[in-house]
């Protein structure tokens, strides 16, 4: 399993969920890693496991982002892959969403992601073949109650990815739209047996997605197997979007 041998990758949101599993899979596939997250303790655990460099950074801290990305590129001796997996999910009725919540979702899910991409550009442009993979969401494509603010930010991620694919070529930029994935971020509603059963029933495959499913998609889009793939949205949802 060396599909990413020689690749130098920065993964955000690497302390948990999709980001953590992607770090594990990238390491197994031969990539050298720098991992970014605000949770220093959890980040150290996965970094020790994968041999990665650690960049502790909160994406709401605008001034900290570029220095953290610069340190990652310096630690790796360059950068040719970026996985933006950092994000937060809040399910709340639209009429109760206050300005502070709108701001936080925007800062983490969209602005932070964009600033990481900007900061990584010099290193990515210096690479022979570079790739960005942004984790969007099925919510960017299919509405559901209580997700208006979250969905709006993820729809922004989706369109930003397409714009960057056009503007930054030959750097490849793609987005993944996960369905409901079994992570700590979804535990608030997934731990309810009735809700979990409804989610399973709503998927064509009658299953719950796992972080490994998204990590596998990240490997493909980063690898040379996807060398002619850019500006796309890869939906990984077990068939929820059409069932």
Strand order across the beta sheet in which 131-135 lies? 53-56, 32-37, 8-12, 81-84, 131-135, 172-178, 233-236
- Name the catalytic one among 150, 164, 174, 221: 150
Length of the chain: 243
Cα angle, residue 161 at apex, residues 156 and 163 outer, rounded to 5°: 95
Residues 6+ apart with CB under 8 A from 108: 59, 60, 86, 87, 88
61 contacts 29 by C-beta, under 8 angstroms: no
101 contacts 156 by C-beta, under 8 angstroms: no
d(CA 148, CA 93): 8
CB atoms within 10 A of CB 196: 16
Residues 6+ apart with CB under 8 A from 148: 94, 97
Ramachandran quadrant class, 13 (left: phi over 0; alpha: psi -120 to 50; beta: rest): left
220 is catalytic: no
Distances (CA, A) of 232 to 82, 92, 226: 16, 29, 11
Active-site residue numbers? 150
């Amino acid at each position: 399993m060396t599909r990413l041998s020689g690749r130098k990758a920065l993964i955000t949101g690497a302390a948990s969920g999709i980001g953590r599993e992607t770090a594990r899979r990238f390491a197994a596939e031969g990539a050298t890693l720098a991992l970014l997250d605000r949770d220093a303790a959890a980040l150290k655990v996965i970094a020790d496991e994968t041999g990665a460099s650690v960049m502790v950074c909160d994406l709401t801290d605008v001034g900290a982002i570029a220095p953290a990305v610069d340190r990652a590129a310096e630690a790796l001796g360059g950068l040719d892959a970026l996985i933006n997996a950092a994000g937060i999910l809040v399910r709340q009725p639209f009429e109760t969403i206050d300005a502070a919540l709108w701001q936080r979702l925007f800062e983490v899910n969209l602005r932070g992601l964009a600033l990481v991409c900007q900061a990584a550009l010099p290193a990515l442009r210096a690479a022979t073949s570079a790739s960005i993979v942004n984790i969007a969401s099925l919510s960017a494509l299919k509405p559901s109650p209580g997700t208006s603010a979250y969905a709006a930010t993820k729809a922004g991620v989706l369109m930003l990815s397409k714009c960057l694919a056009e503007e930054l070529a030959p750097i490849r930029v793609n987005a993944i739209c996960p369905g409901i994935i079994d992570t700590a971020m979804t535990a608030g509603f997934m731990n309810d047996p009735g809700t979990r059963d409804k989610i399973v029933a709503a998927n064509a495959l009658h299953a719950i997605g796992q972080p490994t499913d998204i990590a596998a998609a990240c490997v493909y889009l980063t690898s040379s197997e996807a060398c002619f793939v850019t500006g796309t949205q890869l939906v990984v949802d077990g068939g929820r979007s059409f069932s």
